[in-house]
Amino acid sequence: MEPMIDTPGLDLEISHWCENRIFVGGVDEAGRGALAGPVVAACVVLPPSPQVKENLFGVRDSKTMTAAERAYWAGQIKQTAISWGVGMIEAAEIDHLGIQRANQDAMALAMLHCPIKCEVYLLDFIHWKEKPSNAFRYKKGEQASLSIAAASVIAKTTRDQIMVELGRVYQNYGFAQNKGYGTKQHRQAIMDFGITPIHRTSFTLTKCYQ
């Protein structure tokens, strides 16, 4: 595979490594805007070496990658990372908490489930008033930090696999293809078959079947 010219850098990570903060975790989420399924976050801790950028040259914001690219680079990330973990909040809890709080809780769980406890966390910019004091938010974080981009890939591939598996249980909704997002096919299926226990009833899908 050829190097991608838009691979995120390590400037944010290096600034902490140079201050002897070795364990820097990138954190990101997937599934915020879906109508069904969980929101999933990941925390990825990369080795404190500029060489890691060469090893992960194809990693970038997961939204700009194909499914095949994400699958390949997710494996490379897991092999390269010092540590990684994921957190998940299910649809019913999203309805109870609201998506913003659910997103925050998923990220907190990803940090908790990462076997190495980080000295610093790098986040994409989200509204999180009570975030940990050692967590820092950056606009377009997936473009600025390789660690955040790597986390976006792990979160996305983890969630996509969950939706593929759920598609085998709820076969009328095309979850393997739409991953729970509000495609025309998915919305038509809601109109035809109603909602499932994994749908977020607080989302705009309610307009489809009321």
For 8-64, how does the pLDDT look when each residue is reduced to its tens digit (9 = 90+)?
999 999 999 999 999 999 999 999 999 999 999 999 999 999 899 999 999 999 999
pLDDT at 209: 45
Tell me which of 51-60, 82-91, 127-136, 199-208 is least confident: 199-208
The C-alpha R_g of the chain, in whole angstroms, comes to 17
What is the pLDDT confidence band of residue 127, given thresholds at 50, 70 and 90? Answer: confident
60 class by beta-carbon count within 10 Å (0-12 exposed, 13-18 middle, 19+ buried): buried
CATH number of 11-209: 3.30.420.10
Structure confidence by residue, pLDDT tens digits, 133-174: 999 999 888 899 999 999 999 999 999 999 999 999 999 999
How far is 28 from 114, CA to CA, in rounded Å?
13
pLDDT at 129: 85
Please report, as a single letter, which amino acid is at residue 158.
T
Q: Which one has a higher pLDDT value, 189 or 5?
A: 189
Name the residue among 189, 197, 196, 44 with its Cα closest to residue 208.
Answer: 189
